[in-house]
Amino acid sequence: MEKTTRSFGHSPDIKIELMCTGVRYSEALGRAAGHAMPNYYPYRFKAGEPDPTGKGIARIPYLINLPDGTMIRVLGNGDSPWHVAGDVERGYQLCDDRTGRALPMEFEPLRPWMQGKTTDGLPYAQAGVTTHSDMLVVNVAPGCEYFLHKHDGVSMRCAFCAYGAPDERTAHLGQVRGRVDIPAPTLARLKEAMAAVLTDTHVRHLYLVGGSLTDGEAEARRFLQLAQAVRQRTAARMPTSLGSGALPDEWIAEFRRQDLVEFVCFNLEVWSEPLFAKVCPGKNRYVGYERWIQALETAVGHFGPGRVYTAMVAGIELEPEHGLSADEAAATALEGAQDLCRRGIIPIYSLHWPTGGRERPDYHERLRTYFEKLSAGYQQLRARLGLRIHDDFMCHRCAYMQLECDIDRAALRPAA
């Protein structure tokens, strides 16, 4: 396996380290959970790892900010050489046991809106909004119908997905099985929640997402209703991305005609039809691989080059059942990047930790080799084609599991 050693610049190098190896628990990390934006997943102590909580799990923060605004998701890993020291008064440091270096950092804070409620008493945090620094993500219908269906004993949900079906977990949003439209009270609460977010958070990007429906027209209608509501209810126009599944062509045209969004991001997730069929059986069955790419091309035709994106789950190719080495997985992903970019579609790679193969001693090294190789190859491709991630779509302040914005930004800055 060829190992890449390329440096992408100071902050991207730190970010890639933490993305691929995570951070070990420390008391400072645990204490920070009291004032930082909370992580969706608790820290899970490994067998034999010192556990000062005595509980096996601990609450930890969600996001780290480096001084230049670089954002990194906190991933707990008891084997990591990195830990966090310090406190909120004197400041935090990221410490590397191997070299002894300590780098200044902060945690994304728990903002006041996160503890507020709508006038009818629903916590804003449950009203369908969340933030990653300057990106506001709107998701008022997170339940995904693919979780409701099985074919030949195979669930139609995507293999990596942590969402769920429309069920009691989505009932507070008025999302129930079989209902396409978003209820008026849900949109009223969303309006209040968005107003609260915008009072204490500097937001530069809006991203509309949600679970999928098996009927593409119905999904399009729901997203159209959402985009209209968001546009009407946001006083200042903000760059907005349509993060639905791949929609029928006439509906893509309708979003453009009504001038509701500036960007489109239909997530293909993985390159190559056989991998797509295995990783995203629902998308493959209800939309289809070729049709997904065609829909993205249709969007390029309406919105123009540089405005159509597709998120990819980088690392899922390393799951043992796919049988790919790190080099083969990176080569497959890069082949996809080349093909998509040629069509005017810009992929964005979000790092995924494969669940299988964790017992392999080279687990983290494989992931890192793959991700470095992919990131370096994709940077060269973007440079060759003169492509950049549009700063209104995503930037280094909100890309918490993606590297493209960080790498391109570092490449543009003069060396220190």
The contact set with ligand SF4 (CB under 6 A) reads 144, 146, 157-158, 161, 163, 211-212, 282-283
Residue type, 206: L
**How many whole angstroms separate alpha carbon 205 and alpha carbon 104?**
27
What distance lies between CA 328 and its chain's CA centroid?
24
Q: For residues 184 and 161, what is the distance between their CA atoms, to the nearest angstrom?
A: 28
Cβ nearer to ligand SF4, comparing 36 with 246:
246
Spatial CA neighbour of 134 closest among 319, 320, 399: 399
Q: Which of 351, 360, 414, 326 is nearest to 16 (CA)?
A: 351
The smaller minimum CB distance to ligand SF4, of residues 283 and 390, is found at 283
| Contacting residues for 143 by C-beta, under 8 A, at least 6 apart | 163, 164, 165, 166, 167, 169, 170, 175, 177, 211
Q: CB-wise, 8 or 251, nearer to ligand SF4?
A: 251
Closest CB to ligand SF4 among 159 and 198? 159
Q: Does residue 136 contact residue 207 with C-beta atoms inside 8 Å? A: yes
The count of other CB atoms within 10 Å of the CB of residue 228 is: 14
Task: Give the count of alpha carbons within 13 A of 291, CB side only.
Answer: 13
CB of 150 to ligand SF4, least distance (A): 13
At its nearest, how many Å lie between ligand SF4 and the CB of residue 281?
A: 9
Least separation in angstroms between residue 38's CB and ligand SF4 is 22
Contact 406, 399 (CB under 8 A): yes
Q: Which is nearer to ligand SF4, 233 or 285 (CB)?
A: 285
Nearer to ligand SF4 (CB atom), residue 9 or residue 281: 281
Least distance to ligand SF4 from the beta carbon of 352, Å? 11
Cβ(69)–Cβ(10) under 8 Å?
no
In this complex, which beta carbon is closest to ligand SF4, that of residue 82 or of residue 163?
Answer: 163
CB of 175 to ligand SF4, least distance (A): 12
Of 20 and 144, the one with the shorter C-beta distance to ligand SF4 is 144
CB 209, min distance to ligand SF4, A = 8
Give whichever of 131 and 212 is closer to ligand SF4, judged by the CB atom: 212
Label residue 69 exposed, middle or buried (CB < 10 Å: 0-12, 13-18, 19+).
middle
- Minimum distance from residue 271 beta carbon to ligand SF4 (Å): 16
Smallest separation (angstroms) from ligand SF4 to the CB of 186: 18
Give which of 32, 30, 54 is closest to 43, Cα–Cα.
Answer: 30
Shortest spacing between CB 96 and ligand SF4, in angstroms: 34
In whole angstroms, give the CA distance from residue 216 to residue 205.
25
